[in-house]
């Protein structure tokens, strides 16, 4: 049975991917920063009757000691990994000028530096076995900038640039890098992400408009996260996985637009989609 470690499994993509992979016969090490939030995962695992294939462990990808402890635990338990799924992610909504340094750095620490730090500790084991899969849950936000979402977009652009580069280095060792890029899906990132909207903000008209528009968009068009879990599982099961897979109609369109349309045209399309012409400054 292959073994996979997944980060950020208390909710969302991480939770449903844990269940999907266990149902397919993977041994899953489901990790999360706060084990006090494991109840929803435990219920889903029990409902799928895969308790014997899932272990839940603590891991904070922004804490070097937590990473070292988790990797050492794998070694002492004799549990070599076949794959890692980097799913842990955070966001913050707001105009860049209004965001604190702490908000911006938090997004980059989790979404970018956390991926690098954990991967670096796992690579010696993958190299020794001359195989392994490093799958990163990216986003359609890696294809084009989005208003009031600049730190998140930047983190996804950064991790994709890193992935494209390190793929050259790891290929000779039989290690695959895989990017899964979802569009809008029903996960708690929409509710859990802080929204910075100061009363005195010069960008307040835009932010108020986006708050209403994006919430309506998510409520109407966000899709079942199980689609993303299946895409992740299919990539890990594939004999020769694709490097990049866009999941969902909006992500597929943005994947196409990134290579075919000028940035100015993409911004105009975004502006029309979110009705930015209706903002009254």
The secondary structure of 211-272 as a DSSP string is HHHHHHHHHHH-B-THHHHHHHHHHHH-SS--SEEEESHHHHHHHHHHHHS-HHHHHHHHHH
User: For the range 258-264, what are the long-range contacts, defined as Cβ-Cβ under 8 Å and sequence gap of 24 or more?
Assistant: 258/143, 258/144, 263/144
The two three-digit tokens of residue 161, written as one number: 């640039």
201, exposed or middle or buried, with CB in 10 Å at 0-12, 13-18, 19+?
A: middle
The residue from 152, 168, 185, 203 that is catalytic is 152
- Sign (positive or negative) of CA dihedral 46, 88, 236, 142: positive
Active site residue 168: no
Place of tokens 């991926």: 115
Place of tokens 């594939």: 238
Q: For residue 141, give the 3-state DSSP assignment.
A: helix
The DSSP H or E segment spanning 55 is: strand 54-58
CA–CA separation, 49 and 55 (whole Å): 13
Residue pair 200/156 in contact (Cβ under 8 Å)? The answer is: no
The two three-digit tokens of residue 44, written as one number: 């889903």
Strands 244-247 and 54-58: unpaired
Spatial neighbors of 266 by CB under 8 A, at least 6 apart, are: 144, 257, 258
Catalytic residues: 152
């Amino acid at each position: 049975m292959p073994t996979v470690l997944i980060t950020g499994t208390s909710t969302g993509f991480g939770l449903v991917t844990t269940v999907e992979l266990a149902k397919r016969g993977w041994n899953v090490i489901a990790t999360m920063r706060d084990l006090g939030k494991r109840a929803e995962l435990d219920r889903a695992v029990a409902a799928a009757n895969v308790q014997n294939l899932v272990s839940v462990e603590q891991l904070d990808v922004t804490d070097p000691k937590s990473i070292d402890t988790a990797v050492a635990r794998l070694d002492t338990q004799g549990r070599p990994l076949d794959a890692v799924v980097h799913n842990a992610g955070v966001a913050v909504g707001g105009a860049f000028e209004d965001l604190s340094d702490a908000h911006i750095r938090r997004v980059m620490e989790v979404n970018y530096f956390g991926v690098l730090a954990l991967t670096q500790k796992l690579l010696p084991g993958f190299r020794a076995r001359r195989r392994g899969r490093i799958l990163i849950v990216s986003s359609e936000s890696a294809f084009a900038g989005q208003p009031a979402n600049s730190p998140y977009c930047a983190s996804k652009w950064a991790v994709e640039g890193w992935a494209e580069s390190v793929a050259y280095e790891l290929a000779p060792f039989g290690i695959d890098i895989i990017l899964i890029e979802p569009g809008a899906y029903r996960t708690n990132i929409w509710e859990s992400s802080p929204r910075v909207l100061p009363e005195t903000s010069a960008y307040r008209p835009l932010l108020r408009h986006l708050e209403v528009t994006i919430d309506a968009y998510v409520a109407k068009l966000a899709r079942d996260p199980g689609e993303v879990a299946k895409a992740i599982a299919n990539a890990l099961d594939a004999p020769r996985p694709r490097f990049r897979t866009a999941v969902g109609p909006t992500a597929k369109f943005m994947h196409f637009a990134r290579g075919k349309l000028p940035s100015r045209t993409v911004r105009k399309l975004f502006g029309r989609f979110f009705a930015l012409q209706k903002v009254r400054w």
